[in-house]
């Protein structure tokens, strides 16, 4: 394994774990840690962005240019993940079983539609 791949792996795992734990702290009312969860999730997001920048520097690539197609696909992916997450929260936190399952399935369909958007149909 090359050094830049190893450093990316470590940074992505640490950033992802911090972000995920922060989101759990925000979304689980039993923990009573909303503010700390927001801070932890923000730190995790910053670590993920720093890892992305460090990887580009390690590979000798120039700064990323804004490509509006990629921004749109990313925003669509985030929206699909949020819809799926809302469906899961409706089932697990708010006891809205049927509606939560329907919303979760819509989120899964949105995420699956990213495949033809990114890879195209042949």
pLDDT of residue 31: 86
Q: What is the DSSP string of the chain?
A: --HHHHHHHHHHHHHHHHHHHHHHHHH-GGG--HHHHHHHHHHHHHHHHHHHHHHHHHTTPPPPP--HHHHHHHHHHHHHHHHHHHHHHHHHTS--HHHHHHHHHHHHHHHHTHHHHHH---
Residue-wise pLDDT for 3-25, tens only, equals: 888 999 999 999 999 999 999 99
Locus of tokens 């979304």: 27
Q: In the chain, what are the domain boundaries?
A: 1-64, 66-122
Residue-wise pLDDT for 36-85, tens only, equals: 999 999 999 999 999 999 999 888 888 778 899 989 999 999 999 999 99
Task: Round to whole Å and give the CA distance between 77 and 9.
Answer: 22
CA 14 to chain centre: 14
pLDDT of residue 27: 84
């Amino acid at each position: 394994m090359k050094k830049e791949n190893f450093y990316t792996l470590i940074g992505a795992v640490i950033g992802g774990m911090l972000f995920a734990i922060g989101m759990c702290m925000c979304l689980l009312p039993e923990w009573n840690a909303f503010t700390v969860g927001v801070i932890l999730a923000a730190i995790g997001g910053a670590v993920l962005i720093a890892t992305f920048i460090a990887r580009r520097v390690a590979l000798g690539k120039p700064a990323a240019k804004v490509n509006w197609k990629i921004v749109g696909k990313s925003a669509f992916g985030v929206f699909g993940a949020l819809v799926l997450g809302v469906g899961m929260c409706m089932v697990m936190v708010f006891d809205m079983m049927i509606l939560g399952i329907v919303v979760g399935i819509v989120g899964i369909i949105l995420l699956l539609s990213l495949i033809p958007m990114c890879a195209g149909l042949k």
